[in-house]
Amino acid sequence: MVSEAEKIQKKTSCEHQAECMKMVQLIVDGQASDEQINQFKLNMSTCLPCEKGYELEKCIKETMQLRLERKSVPVSLIDCIKQKISML
């Protein structure tokens, strides 16, 4: 038996791909508002490229978090970076 969700035909191309991928980054990075997340979920439910893009970015982030080792950064390097940023 096919569920109602499976009956929905998803788009195979996205008219707003650049904006959608920016939204994916905000969501994956935890910077999107609840409203943005809900709006993107609605879009993703009908757009295959958005769904695949989200899944790929989420998978990349999870893999990086598992495989990268966190190391302490020398205070002198932090100060140097802050100084250069403040000069911009």
72: left (phi over 0), alpha (psi -120 to 50) or beta: beta
Residue 31 vs residues 9, 24, 35, 36, 40: alpha-carbon distances, Å: 30, 10, 12, 10, 13
At residue 10, the pLDDT reads: 87
9 pLDDT above the threshold of 70? yes
Flag whether the pTM goes above 0.85: no
* pLDDT confidence tier of residue 4, bands split at 50, 70 and 90: low
With H, G, I as helix, E, B as strand and everything else as coil, classify residue 31.
coil
Q: For residue range 16-74, what is the model confidence (pLDDT) as tens digits?
A: 899 999 999 999 999 999 999 999 999 999 999 999 999 999 999 999 989 888 889 99
| Every domain of the chain and the residues it spans | 4-86
* pLDDT confidence tier of residue 6, bands split at 50, 70 and 90: low
